Amino acid sequence: MSEFFFLGCSLLTLVILGLHSFLLKFSVFFLLIFFSLYSFNLEGGKVLVLIGVFAVLFLLGPKKEEQTEVPVLSLIIVFGIFCLISSTNWLSVYLAIELSTLCFFVLIARGSGYSAEAGLKYFVLGALSSGLFLFGCALLCGIGGNVHLAYLDLIINSKQTFSDVCPPVGYILILGALFFKLSVAPFHMWAPDVYEGAPTKIVLLLATVPKIGIFSLLITLGLPVNSLLIGVVFSLFVGALGALNQTKIKRLLAYSSIGHMGFILWGFESGSFESLQASLVYLFIYVIMTICVFSLILGFHLYKNLLIEFSGVSRFLPLFAVTLGVVFFSIAGIPPFAGFLSKWVVLLSGVLSQSYFVFLFAVFCSVIGGVYYVRIVKILFFQKNFYLLITIKALRKELHLNFKKVFLVGLCLYFILFLFMAPHLGFFFASQTIMILF
C-alpha cells in the first residue's frame, strides 16, 4: 500500500499546483518518476495503463484547460485503475471503478453541446451499471459472509447448500456492470454516441485505460464462462455489422472497439493459460493500434469527423495516407502486421479449446469487419475530393503533426510493423501478467 500512499500524496500536490501553467510537464515528469521507482513492482496491467496515459498527456495542447484540469483528472483515473487492479475486496473494487467513472464524466462533458450530451449519457448509464454492480455484490457477499474476492471460491467450490437463485443472479448483475464499462454487447449502447461527442483525446483515454483495469478484474474473479460466451458472440456480431453504414470516423472506431472486446473476451472465456496469454497479447496490440490511429486523426484535424474528409489524402499527403492505411490494415487483421498476430493467437487458442463454432463465427465477423477498414483505405487512395470540402480544405491547415504526435505515431508504427516478426516481447509480457494476477 506504500505506492498508493505515495501516489495519493502526489495527486494532492498536483491539485494544489493546478493553477500553474507547467502542470502538464510536471505530470509527465511525475509519471516518469513513479514508473522508475516502482518498475519492479508494477504489474503488466499497470504498465499498459501508464502507456495509455502517457499517450494522452503527450497529445495535450497549449489550451488552458488541457494544461490544468485534464492532467489532474487523468492522474486520478490512473490512481483509480491502479487501485482496481490491486483490489482484494468488493468495496475497494466499487470505489476504484466509481473514482475513474466520475473523472471520465467530467472529461467527456467538456467542450461543445455534443460533449455535454455524451457526458450526461455516460453518467446516467454509468449510474445504472453501478447500481447493478452493487446489487450483485450484495447478493454474493450475503451468501459468502465476507467482502473479500477470495470468498468467491467458497461459493463456487463449497459443498454447502446455498440458494439456487442468488449466486447466478449476482454473477449476471456484476457481469452486466463490467460489460458496460468494456462496451461489450449488448451493453454497448453508450459507446458510439460518447465516442462521437467526447473530445478525441478523451476518447483515446476512454478506449484504453479503463478496459485494462476491468480485464484485470475479470482475470481475478474468474466468473462463469457461459455468460462471457454470450458477450463474445454479441460483440463480434455487433462490431462487424454496426460499423458497415457509419459515415463518421469516431463512431466507426466505437463499433470497431466493440468487436475487439469480443476477441479479447473470448480468451477469458476459455480460461486456460494459453487463451489468457493470447487475450493479453491482443489487449497490448489493441492499445498500441488505438493510440496510433487516434494520434493520426488528431494530426489531420478533421472538420466534422466524416470519413469523406479523408478523400484524396494520398495525392497531397502520401506518407500520412500510407501510415493510416497500414494502421487500418493492422486493425482489420491483415498480415504481416501486428493486428493479424493478435487475432491469430486468439483464434488458435479457441481451436485448442475446441470452440469450433465460435472460431468460425469469429472468422466470419472478421471478414465482414475488414470491409469497412478497406473502405477507408479506398477513400484515402482512390476517391476524389468531395466538392463541398474543397473550400474547407483550402481555408485551413491540413496537417497538425508536431514532434509529440510524430513520436507517438512512429513508436506505435514500429510495433505494428515488426511485432509480427518477433512476438516474444508480447508473449513474455502477457505470461508475466497472468502469473502476477493469479
Residue indicated by cell numbers 467530467: 106
Q: Which of 10-24, 110-124, 126-140, 262-276 has the highest mean pLDDT?
A: 126-140
Domain span at 344:
235-437
* pLDDT tens-digit readout, 400-433: 667 778 888 888 888 888 887 777 766 666 666 6
Residue 42 one-letter amino acid: L
Assess if residue 17 is contained within a domain: no
Q: What's the mean pLDDT in 80-108?
A: 87
pLDDT, position 431: 63
Same domain (yes/no): 208, 306:
no
- What H or E segment, with its residue span, contains residue 140? helix 113-144
* pLDDT tens-digit readout, 20-47: 444 454 555 455 445 544 444 556 567 7
Q: Which three cell numbers stand for residue 233?
A: 458472440
Same domain (yes/no): 371, 415:
yes
Same domain (yes/no): 240, 103:
no
Same domain (yes/no): 289, 363:
yes
Assess if residue 251 is contained within a domain: yes
Same domain (yes/no): 73, 115:
yes
pLDDT, position 155: 62
Same domain (yes/no): 188, 51:
yes
Among candidate residues 223, 257, 280, the one where a domain is terminated: 223
**Under 8 Å between Cβ of 286 and 260:** yes
Residue 339 CA to residue 411 CA, distance in Å, equals 16
Read off the pTM.
Answer: 0.86
Same domain (yes/no): 133, 193:
yes
pLDDT of 328 over the 50 cut: yes
- What H or E segment, with its residue span, contains residue 55? helix 44-59
Assess if residue 187 is contained within a domain: yes
pLDDT, position 304: 76
Q: What's the mean pLDDT in 379-397?
A: 62
Assess if residue 285 is contained within a domain: yes
Among candidate residues 193, 223, 253, the one where a domain is terminated: 223
* 326/65: higher pLDDT: 326
Q: How many domains does the chain have?
A: 2
* pLDDT tens-digit readout, 226-242: 678 888 899 999 998 88
Same domain (yes/no): 244, 313:
yes
Same domain (yes/no): 281, 193:
no
Q: Which residues contact 340 (CB under 8 A, 6 or more apart)?
A: 330, 333, 334, 420
pLDDT, position 260: 92
pLDDT of 360 over the 80 cut: yes
Mean pLDDT lowest for which of 7-11, 254-258, 259-263?
7-11
* pLDDT tens-digit readout, 172-228: 888 888 988 888 988 888 888 899 888 888 899 999 988 988 888 888 777 666 678
Among candidate residues 186, 201, 223, the one where a domain is terminated: 223
pLDDT of 378 over the 50 cut: yes
Assess if residue 378 is contained within a domain: yes
Same domain (yes/no): 291, 345:
yes
**Under 8 Å between Cβ of 210 and 122:** no
Q: What percent of the chain is modeled with pLDDT above 90?
A: 8
Task: Categorize the per-residue pLDDT at 86 as very low, low, confident or very high, splitting at 50, 70 and 90.
Answer: confident
Q: What's the mean pLDDT in 311-332?
A: 86
Assess if residue 26 is contained within a domain: no
pLDDT of 73 over the 50 cut: yes
Same domain (yes/no): 250, 215:
no
Assess if residue 259 is contained within a domain: yes
Assess if residue 311 is contained within a domain: yes
Same domain (yes/no): 298, 378:
yes
Task: Categorize the per-residue pLDDT at 12 as very low, low, confident or very high, splitting at 50, 70 and 90.
Answer: very low
pLDDT, position 170: 79
